[in-house]
Chains A and B, each alone.
Chain A
Amino acid sequence: MGNAVLEVNELTTKYITRFGENIYAVDHVSLKVEEGKSLGIAGESGCGKSTLALSLMGYYFPPLYYTSGQIIIDGQNISGMDPDEVRKAILGKEIAYIPQSAMNALNPTQRIINFIEDVIEAHKPYATKKEIYDQAKSLFEVLGLPAEVLNKYPVELSGGMKQRTVIAISVILSPQILIADEPSSALDVTSQKMVIKMLRNLMDSGLIKSMIFITHELPLLYNVTDDIMVMYAGQIVEKAGAHEMVFTPIHPYSQGLMGSIMVPESGLRDKKLTAIPGVPPNLKNPPSGCRFAERCKYVMPECRVTSIPLRDAGGGRAYRCILPKEFLMEAYERERGER
């Protein structure tokens, strides 16, 4: 077992709305990312992926509030820490974070090098402009980005180049872990592939020690991360190695997700797709039992009684359902038969 770079135990966080309602967008989530490993987070819109990213960085600014659980980054427990303190001590250096749509949030009046100066100066106040420029230039070279980009303004860059630049800026301090939230979703396929290549390059070259990659695009996740976690309505419903998750999902919801992957490959065309009707529950008052019950074709009365715990499935896998894994896996096998 490698060193855990990030360990999260039973983390629960919530939004408090203007009307005083609680929205538990992250509900008892546990995860572990080891050195040299990457973890993917999948799930449909609104299931809490982005909130989980913020929460596990200790980034608690209203309306997001910490409720309970533990976050340990590189051996340091940050759970009770003041968010401003976290921002100063952890962000950039320990954890680098690329928010969803970060590339469109770049200040248009700054050159790329100015963003890098901001990041470095926050941690090394005595660095000279020349030192910063040299450091940036060599990082860009390693990542295959042209050094001219450093002197450009964001609007002068194509979407794909802008996104790769954002990633480069965020890893300039060689963070322990990079959290990338939908970093390639708005790009055309070729730019998207370049972003993926760069993320893999960052891992292989050791510029970052580990990574959390968030996307609802499963074939991408499959090609980037070692493990995949599926979230549904604020909870983890399944954890597994990327290959196991994509080809032999256990939880009925993961099965719906994996069974709806469409790729242009001959291996797919004879398989049936699996469909899940309905929508996820409202997080303001989620059902007391299994949160997936409303959409599950196997639902039984006992599913709705109390919350369903995450069960160990062996081989580093876990899933949140009361049915035996053998039953679920066989059913999926049958369902995906010839079309």
Chain B
Amino acid sequence: MRGPVTATNDFVVKFANVNGSGSASANQLFAKAILRMGIPIASRNIFPSNIQGLPTWFEVRVSGEGYLGRRGGVDLMVAMNPQTWERDVAEIDPGGYLFYDSTRPVPQSRFREDVHVIGVPLTAMCNAAYTDARQRQLFKNIMYVGALSALLQIDPAVVETLLSEQYKGKEKLAKPNQEAFQMGRDWALANLPCPLGLTLERADKVGDRIYVDGNSAAGLGAVYGGATVCAWYPITPSTSLAEGFERYAKKFRTDPDGRKRYAIVQAEDELASIGIVIGAAWNGARAFTATSGPGISLMQEFVGLSYFAEIPSVIFDVQRAGPSTGMPTRTQQSDVLAAAYASHGDTKHVVLLPEDPHECFAFGADAFDIADRLQQPVFVLLDLDIGMNDWLCEPFAWDDSRRMDRGKVMTAEELEAGRVFGRYLDADGDGIPYRTYPGTHPSKGAFFTRGTSRDRFAKYTEVGAAYVDNMQRLLQKFETAKGIVPRPVLRQAAEPTRTGVIYYGSSSAAMREALSALEAEGIHVDALRIRAFPFHQEVERFVADHDQVFVVEQNRDAQLRTLLMNECGIVPQQLIPVLHYDGTPITARFIRAAIGDKVLAQILPFAGAAAE
């Protein structure tokens, strides 16, 4: 038998639970305790699309090096769900550990030879300690955290602090949790060889970073961005974004008399959601909606209106897999093209691609300035991985001297002073016209908004030349957008190289780790993280400067690659897709293998031959 895996501050723990069993808060406690010991972690929920009864997993990546993507593989499986036992046991890396509830005997055949087994009679202990069925269930979870604290050397004082923080004002609840934790811990110390090969050691690697989910961060960003109208329709994984906005708006935007400086409408569907956003934005409020792929599909017609009528709208799309239920509670980056080219007619839109909750907040606020400045829809593409998981990231930052940039809005004073107002007139040569809010002036500045068929002064016309004139101006505006959206971020390899990689969004954390691993193998790759569409000139330059560029994405059809070829005129052979789309977040091992193996083999096959 292979010796047990040994590692300090660098391993993967996966919890296999039953949905709705109360395991989530115990698993959170486990994760946060490690963070408080100054050790970076990345945690991810993998959950079914129902509320109770189905399997759910929680994966904690402990990384003293600060790698926050999924690594791939599992060193310690906490197998609390008999339903998924087989696959959970199978997933453990050779030499890894299996932690299970040993109350009922498990036949030897159901274990693995190359895995170290740790049994704790959790159910028996709970049944002995508690009479209430709900308590037996809930405290079993805390109890395994207690046992793990002994096995992995989690500082019990940290857990105590966390519990007292969590139950501040409800001390009655803190005590029994504390006791259950201690019970599990004591049992392990008395009956098991502690610690395991996997250990935790206090470090100082977390710094001032925060641990938060991207949806809350984006919702907070919308508050800081000055959004006052939110219209949405519930859909996983975006629901908690609207809820985050509501939570923070309630906290920061409630007048002393209880009245709200914001309005949230849970609309009847996504068509109404985006309609409300467009109406509000037309009338001078900052407005947004939060949705996922199916909602984006429904919003298509209105997005076109927002583009052609030049009305700022902000759409947060927390991407998920395919239609209907099931897979949709898994992550993907599969709405890139749907967002970039949303709607009928010739349209293209600004798309922002945050890499983590820090950027969800920043882009969440910036999106409103960008939308107002450009007077068009702005998509902010999150995905389930960033949106619904807690990520360790840089703290949120704000400059108090910053003011909302409402773009080109002509005021009553300017109209009164005789400034020429043409709603679709390119007065400044940047393709962006001036607008007026309804009710501005009694006799000047009013106009009739329509999708198309108007001249520069918003007068009705069906003349072809006027249509072309308008469409050309919209293209000019798209050029202007390149200078307004976030620029790409370059990470140069240690040595000069003709190989590059382009990536974006939530792949970023795994990418960083893969790049280090590749570098250790002597494979040097320059990396460019794209943060927005339209692409900055730098993107074209980057591709031109390399012989072949991998494009790492979490979708089947290499959507960003398509966009790059289409918008930058790049030959397909130059862009090699690396595609991960099984619904789980991409891993560092996957990227490393996909790029490393191809580079080493000196075969760089083209499209379709995606890695693995």
Co-complex (A, B):
no
B residues apposed to A, CB below 8 Å: none
